[in-house]
Structure 1
């Protein structure tokens, strides 16, 4: 039997098509301070940054609404162990309010409900802002990701269902007027975790008697880190891998405002094994713990972050520990 003739074009490889090479993931440890763009969810931003860095493990430190911009700390590797710290920390925002107009959602996404003329004095606006300073009770908005019977509140809101919400105690540490002109009020807010700036905007409008909603929101600080240290997604995409890697902050940046202690080489090893250490230290709810750098040629990094601890009755008690590989990664940094 003769062989079947097959056209050469069928068996010849398609050389004009680029071959995709999947690069391996890397065990990176640290924090990327991202300036999140408008319209992107926190998870979408996280996934884009994770792919850019080819990181094995990454997580964010609490969501920032798609309609908000600004500081979004993203944790890589060992830094994910301290993401809750950032979630629980105070936040700072620049918020723009539209006075005289309310919406169904408290922001630009909703339909306008009321629209009234605005005739206010500077004194009235200042008094309204001052009224919300300090500890206050705030009712979470229906258009939020809070769960009720396993379902987010915004899902009920989209169905026209109103769920009773209990007020939450929050603290407004600072509330300054950056600018005010007729219907537009821009404020600088420093607040405790769990504060809804959208609700604060509505409450200020309600206090003024004209109503208000949030038209723009930018997060400018999260705990000890600030927007001035952040990089945009666009800038990251334009960088080489080496340039991106140089922007990774140390694992301990999210706890840099905690008191710290440097252990001896012997105590550091025992601490990393989970043992308590007896030290002459005052009681503390949270501390950064370091050990000496065993690499004598590294003068720029004389100590290595080991994890967190608390101090009770003179005992340093481990809370979150880095693994040996995570500790070693700091020593090997260029």
Structure 2
């Protein structure tokens, strides 16, 4: 353990919250995460959906107990703004790769709009070799670095919205709302191939995840220029991650039983499904309702600890 790591561990603190972060260019998602974590001196942190170093934009950072509820954003739809360089194919499908083919570009707005409509709805994508999808326990990008290619299965994704923002010369900019698992780099290649000229992605910016928008995010430069109180004011409570779920208020006795792993019998008037749970207005976790019975799905550690202490006294 380095002296710097030891010093960070000494000053780190428990923190349960969410930060909407605007990831800058050329930083990996993990590097960006660690920079933010150090700014907040947080013991534990995680992010919700990787962005490549050449991509920028919304990267929600979850601290402490909030990391238990990241699945809500990992499964959520994403919004992106992307720019294609038409007429040039590359080895990676983006600006990091070497140009492998050059073709003339002769497309107009009407052609682009017609092609974009063919990609909306359910579509199939072949994951790129330069991706983190694992094959035999290793990410695909490790194989391609060794010059190896492996068989990949087509994946079904949903393109909910696809809009042309700009067409100037050999650059095409579009906005997309898509389901989880969508590779915008692959979408850009497929669009440019259907236009007959080929192309590659030169810019990508994530502008939304679920209910969260880039408009409410903070940059690294902004955070570094703030004092501790100002940075704290940028944080969102943990339950913002599950605002899409209906809420359910429990009394202290019910919350205690749930924290001990017991199922609660509730009125059959409650429809089945997941619920965000509260007691005395305080968020305690997520439960699953089925047939009038409530089962704990994910509860805050503090709730379970408090229940264990009450049981031992």
Normalized against structure 2, the TM-score is what?
0.90
Pick aligned residue for 1:172 from 142, 154, 159: 159
Structure 1 gap ranges (5+): 1-19, 293-302, 329-334
Contact 2:162 2:176 in 1 (8 A): yes
Contact 1:224 1:254 in 2 (8 A): no
Rounded to whole Å, the distance in 2 between the matches of 1:268 and 1:326 is 9
CA 157–92 in structure 1, closer or farther in 2 if over 3 Å, else same:
same
RMSD: 1.9
* Bigger mean CA deviation after superposition, 132-141 or 254-263: 254-263
Rounded to whole Å, the distance in 1 between the matches of 2:211 and 2:258 is 26
Aligned counterpart, 1:85: 72
Rounded to whole Å, the distance in 2 between the matches of 1:254 and 1:324 is 18
Q: Deviations over 1:159-203 (max 9, x none)?
A: 222211110111111111111223111111111111110000000
Confirm whether residue 98 of structure 1 aligns to residue 85 of structure 2: yes
Aligned counterpart, 1:13: none
Confirm whether residue 140 of structure 1 aligns to residue 127 of structure 2: yes
* Bigger mean CA deviation after superposition, 262-271 or 23-32: 262-271
Structure 2 gap ranges (5+): 1-5, 307-313
What are the equivalent positions in structure 2 for 1:241-256 lying under 5 Å apart?
Answer: 241-256=228-243
Q: Deviations over 1:270-308 (max 9, x none)?
A: 333332222331111x2211121xxxxxxxxxx111111
Pick aligned residue for 2:117 from 102, 120, 130: 130
Aligned counterpart, 1:25: 12
Aligned counterpart, 1:314: 292
Contact 1:223 1:254 in 2 (8 A): no
Pick aligned residue for 1:163 from 146, 150, 154: 150
CA 325–318 in structure 1, closer or farther in 2 if over 3 Å, else same:
closer
- Rg: which structure is higher? 1
Contact 1:225 1:253 in 2 (8 A): no
Rounded to whole Å, the distance in 1 between the matches of 2:151 and 2:286 is 39
Aligned counterpart, 2:279: 291
Pick aligned residue for 2:271 from 263, 276, 282: 282
Aligned counterpart, 2:309: none
Rounded to whole Å, the distance in 2 between the matches of 1:41 and 1:271 is 39
Q: Deviations over 1:70-125 (max 9, x none)?
A: 01011101101012222121111011111221111000001111222211132210
Confirm whether residue 108 of structure 1 aligns to residue 86 of structure 2: no
